[in-house]
């Protein structure tokens, strides 16, 4: 999700509680991976340390790979189907997928998926499409498990490291993203465990801390910092159901101090906004307070609310523009780490296994109904789309690109799916919805400051 250019990030100020200074680093990069420099033209610029990179972050997520999401790879979950008219019995997330299969069969099926879903050819293709960064989700269970966890563990790390090597070979940067916390930080299937909100229970928090400490330590070392330019502490913690003070102090601040003080390293720390209003984080871990290298990740979608789905197209564009215009003056450098071309929620299971679509009025969950807006029939058949719908999809996607380039940039969700068009960068590019090259904008005048 960004606009004109990025040369890269800002001179390191003294860290909180007198953390180790640049000259006293215990280990890590001699020349900092990401230093705070001056502001130019009221935009943040980055310098990754090797060559000048005068462009915004234009990234893509490798979703559905090391963390399963049913809507991305439905074939893995469809094998459990017993009834054509009901999703009953189909696992709703990776936790229940591995539990249903048992350890040996789950490991065999997941190994086959990990080996094939993302390969070096994909990283080469990503580079050729004009992207300059990949965000790679991984779950805590890749490294540690709770006593009753059914997850397959201990295998994913090698695939993550291979992807980082492939990214480096292709001149791509990487964010490592801890996408799932023990106990689940949001109750979404993308956390690994749906309908659970126990991330802040003491045992779960300790396990998650142990994992993120490992990731912060490993990916701030010399051999990684030229490629891995950020580590995300956790994806999408659901602020409305969490203790925000505990999230800030016992997790975000604790991990910042671990990286800066205990390790003495200067890797970028990425914090998700926890679905709080824009500017909520303006007085937390800021440069003025002596912190540095903290980036805020915003995620933006307009399909998970019936009223937003039913808004006029012009209002959708205005809202997308506001996302970019409102973050220009946030105190932290920020990036839209997830967004999509989707103007409907018609893709099967995008709302979760067992839940249908708001768009066609079939969605029912927790006594939340929906109302009919339009048909979902043939949603994944691009040839059936009207020219107006095709134009709107491109206009909406471009408007988001323009908006997010007003500050730090964007990372599209996601690189590939089995069936979806609206959520698949490959299919969007092939069908002329995602600009190719990425700066070939048909609707260039939206969201200007």
pTM of the model: 0.90
Q: Would you say 98 and 151 are in contact if contact means Cβ atoms under 8 Å apart? A: yes
Average pLDDT value for residue range 188-211: 98
Q: Which of 69, 236, 380, 398 is catalytic?
A: 236
Q: Which of 338, 380, 398, 422 is catalytic?
A: 338
**pLDDT of 438 higher than 90:** yes
Query: Residue 28: its pLDDT value, please?
Result: 37
Model confidence band, residue 330 (pLDDT cutoffs 50, 70, 90): very high
**Average of per-residue pLDDT values in the chain:** 89
Q: Which range is least confidently modeled, 13-22, 81-90, 169-178, 257-266?
A: 13-22
Lowest mean pLDDT among 12-21, 23-32, 215-224, 248-257: 12-21
pLDDT band at 448 (very low <50, low <70, confident <90, very high): low
**Lowest-pLDDT range of 21-30, 56-65, 67-76, 399-408:** 21-30
pLDDT of 426 strictly over 50: yes
Enumerate the β-bridge partners of residue 57: 409
pLDDT value of residue 369: 76
SS3 285: coil
Name the pairing type of β-strands 294-299 and 269-272: parallel
pLDDT of residue 2: 30
pLDDT at 117 over 90: yes
Q: Is 165 one of the annotated active-site residues of the chain?
A: no
109 vs 76: CA distance, rounded Å: 8
pLDDT given at position 122: 98
What span, in angstroms and rounded, lies between the C-alpha atoms of 141 and 180? Answer: 8
End-to-end CA distance of the chain: 16
pLDDT confidence band for 43 (50 / 70 / 90): very low
Q: Is the pLDDT of residue 221 over 80?
A: yes
Question: Residue 207: pLDDT above 60?
Answer: yes
338 is catalytic: yes
Fold of 22-430: TIM Barrel (3.20.20)
Please indicate whether residue 239 or residue 41 has the higher confidence score (pLDDT): 239
Residues pairing with 60 in the sheet:
134, 412
pLDDT band at 165 (very low <50, low <70, confident <90, very high): very high
% residues pLDDT > 90 (the chain): 85
**Partners of 180 in the beta sheet?**
139
pLDDT of residue 439: 93
Residue 421 pLDDT greater than 90, yes or no: yes
Average pLDDT of 112-133? 98
Q: How confident is the model at residue 24 (pLDDT cuts 50, 70, 90)?
A: very low
Q: Which helix (H) or strand (E) holds 280?
A: none
SS (H, E, C) 246-263: HHHHHHHHHHHHHHHHHC
Is the previous residue joined to 311 through a cis bond, with omega within 30 degrees of 0?
no
How do residues 53-99 score in pLDDT, each as one tens digit?
A: 467 899 999 999 999 999 999 999 999 999 999 999 999 999 999 99
């Amino acid at each position: 999700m960004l606009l004109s250019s990025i040369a890269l990030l800002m001179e390191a100020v003294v860290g909180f509680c007198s953390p180790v200074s640049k000259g006293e680093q215990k280990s890590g990069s001699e020349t900092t991976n990401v230093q705070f420099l001056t502001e130019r033209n009221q935009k943040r610029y980055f310098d990754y340390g090797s060559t000048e990179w005068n462009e915004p972050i234009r990234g893509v997520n490798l979703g559905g790979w090391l963390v399963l999401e049913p809507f991305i790879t439905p074939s893995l979950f469809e094998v459990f189907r017993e009834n054509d008219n009901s999703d009953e019995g189909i696992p709703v997330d990776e936790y229940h997928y591995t539990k249903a299969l048992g350890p040996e069969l789950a490991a065999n099926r997941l190994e086959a998926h990990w080996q094939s879903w993302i390969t070096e050819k994909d990283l080469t293709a990503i580079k050729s499409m004009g992207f300059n960064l990949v965000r790679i989700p991984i779950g805590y269970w890749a490294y540690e498990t709770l006593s009753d966890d059914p997850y397959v563990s201990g295998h994913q790390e090698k695939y993550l490291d291979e992807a980082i090597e492939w990214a480096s070979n292709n001149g791509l940067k990487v964010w490592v993203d801890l996408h799932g916390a023990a106990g689940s930080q949001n109750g979404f299937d993308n956390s690994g465990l749906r309908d659970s909100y126990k991330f802040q229970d003491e045992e779960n928090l300790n396990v998650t801390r142990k994992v993120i400490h490992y990731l912060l330590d490993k990916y701030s070392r010399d051999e990684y910092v030229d490629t891995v330019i950020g580590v995300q502490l956790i994806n999408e913690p659901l602020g409305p159901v969490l203790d925000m003070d505990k999230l800030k102090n016992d997790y975000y601040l604790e991990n910042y101090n671990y990286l800066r003080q205990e390790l003495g390293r200067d890797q970028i720390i990425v914090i998700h906004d926890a679905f709080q209003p824009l500017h909520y984080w303006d007085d937390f871990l800021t440069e003025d307070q002596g912190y540095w290298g903290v980036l805020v990740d915003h995620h933006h979608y307009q399909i998970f609310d019936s009223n937003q789905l039913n808004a006029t197209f012009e209002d959708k564009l205005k809202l997308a523009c506001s996302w970019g215009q409102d973050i220009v003056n946030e105190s932290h450098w920020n990036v839209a780490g997830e967004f999509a071309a989707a103007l409907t929620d018609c893709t099967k299971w995008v709302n979760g296994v067992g839940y249908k679509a708001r768009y066609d009025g079939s969605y029912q969950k927790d006594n939340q109904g929906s109302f009919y807006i339009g048909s979902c029939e043939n949603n994944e058949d691009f040839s059936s789309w009207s020219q107006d719908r095709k134009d709107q999809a491109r206009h909406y996607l471009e408007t988001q690109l323009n908006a997010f380039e007003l500050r730090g940039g964007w990372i599209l969700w996601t690189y590939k799916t089995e069936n979806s068009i609206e959520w698949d960068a490959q299919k969007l590019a092939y069908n002329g919805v995602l600009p190719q090259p990425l700066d070939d904008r048909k609707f260039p005048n939206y969201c200007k400051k």
